[in-house]
């Protein structure tokens, strides 16, 4: 009987404040879409780092002729210089380096011809224009580069030591900033959702003040009086969260899985499974926001 009464009160409240309820749903939908987008961007960054950092290498560029670097004052790196560097790598960097590959000028020229068969910007280059290098595959690219750079920089025959991660950092920086922007917009919209939920519950409580007074007179508890109002806000917010989950799922499916992943297939992307992973958090946020807004409002307007 009590459950039937509460359900009836919820339905009545939603119908009386239909426009405000729709507003709560829409604002919650938009705000949680931004929250979900920020979470998915962070997940995408994680996937990219896991995938790309596993492939990146540290490149030790060996001295070419006429290099201005102080370590190249003796001229082009010799076989003895290369052998000495390999010994240093084996003795001092055995725990940090997983694999070592020496790329000679001939190897570099063959790779260049494969990539630029007509020359770079229509300028033909020869093998003598190439630069020999030693490429190192690190055990942990995120932490070992500093150690490798400290050990090898300044050695005879070494012009520079470069981390290929630097190529990807601007992309990760842009994605992080996009995530922060999405999170900032989500915060503003969540505040708007809280205010709307508070206003909706306040209007609902005001419109039913006569029923509330009668319930007080017959001895109804605070929980029994407040529960219908709390559930009204929670239902509207959860519906908005479900719309946000649906919108994110459709967006990821069509924009990422069906379009972007087909165009650039070598990148690991977020997918529908990641959206479903985020979904419980979005629904939980919606329910908590509605509950907090309801409790704060109802303590003033329906207390006994």
User: What are the C-alpha distances in Å from 251 to residues 28, 186, 256?
Assistant: 17, 17, 7
| pLDDT at position 183 over 90 | no
Residue 277 has what pLDDT? 93
Partnered with residue 62 across adjacent β-strands are: 158
Give the position of tokens 């985020």: 278
Average pLDDT, the chain: 77
User: In this predicted model, what pLDDT tens digit does every residue of 184-241 receive, in sequence order?
Assistant: 877 887 787 777 777 776 766 665 555 555 555 555 445 555 666 677 777 888 888 9
Backbone angles phi, psi at 130, to 5 degrees: -80, 165
Residue 283 has what pLDDT? 93
Residue 304 has what pLDDT? 41
Q: What is the mean pLDDT of residues 87-91?
A: 86
CA–CA separation, 22 and 52 (whole Å): 44
The one-character DSSP state at 242 is H
| pLDDT at position 294 over 80 | no
Domains (ranges, CATH) in the chain? Answer: 2-52+169-301 (no CATH), 58-163 (3.30.70.3040)
Question: Which distant-in-sequence residues (6+ apart) come within 8 Å of 82 by Cβ?
Answer: 62, 102, 132, 134, 157
User: In this predicted model, what pLDDT tens digit does every residue of 74-86 receive, in sequence order?
Assistant: 888 888 888 888 8
Residue 5 has what pLDDT? 44
CA–CA separation, 48 and 284 (whole Å): 28
Q: What is the mean pLDDT of residues 113-129?
A: 70
Residue 16 has what pLDDT? 60
Share of the chain above pLDDT 70, in %: 74
pTM attached to this predicted model = 0.64
User: In this predicted model, what pLDDT tens digit does every residue of 232-282 receive, in sequence order?
Assistant: 777 888 888 999 999 999 999 988 888 877 776 667 788 889 999 999 999
Query: Which of the pair, 15 or 71, is modelled with greater confidence?
Result: 71
Share of the chain above pLDDT 90, in %: 8
């Amino acid at each position: 009987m009590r459950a039937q009464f509460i359900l009836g009160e919820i339905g009545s409240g939603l119908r009386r404040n239909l426009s405000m309820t729709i507003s709560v749903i829409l604002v919650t939908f938009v705000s949680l879409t931004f929250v979900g987008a920020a979470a998915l961007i962070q997940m995408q960054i994680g996937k990219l780092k896991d995938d790309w950092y596993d492939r990146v290498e540290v490149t030790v560029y060996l001295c070419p002729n006429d290099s201005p670097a102080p370590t190249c004052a003796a001229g082009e790196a010799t076989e003895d210089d290369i052998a000495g560097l390999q010994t240093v790598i084996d003795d001092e960097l055995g725990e940090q380096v997983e694999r070592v590959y020496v790329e000679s000028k001939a190897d570099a020229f063959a790779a260049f011809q494969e990539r630029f068969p007509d020359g770079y910007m229509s300028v033909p280059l020869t093998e003598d224009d190439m630069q020999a290098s030693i490429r190192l595959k690190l055990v942990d690219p995120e932490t070992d580069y500093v150690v490798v750079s400290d050990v090898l920089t300044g050695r005879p025959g070494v012009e520079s030591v470069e981390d290929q991660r630097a190529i990807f950092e601007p992309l990760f920086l842009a994605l992080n900033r996009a995530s922060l922007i999405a999170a900032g917009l989500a915060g503003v919209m969540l505040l708007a959702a809280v205010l709307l939920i508070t206003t909706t519950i306040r209007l609902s409580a005001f419109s039913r003040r006569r029923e509330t007074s009668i319930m007080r007179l017959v001895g109804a508890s605070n929980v029994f009086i407040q529960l219908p109002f709390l559930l009204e806000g929670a239902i509207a917010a959860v519906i908005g969260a479900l719309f946000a989950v649906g919108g994110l799922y459709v967006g990821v499916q069509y924009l990422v899985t069906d379009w972007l992943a087909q165009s650039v297939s070598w990148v690991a992307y977020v997918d529908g499974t990641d959206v479903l992973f985020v979904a419980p958090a979005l629904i939980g946020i919606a329910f908590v926001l509605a509950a907090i807004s309801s409790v704060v409002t109802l303590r003033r307007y329906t207390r006994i």
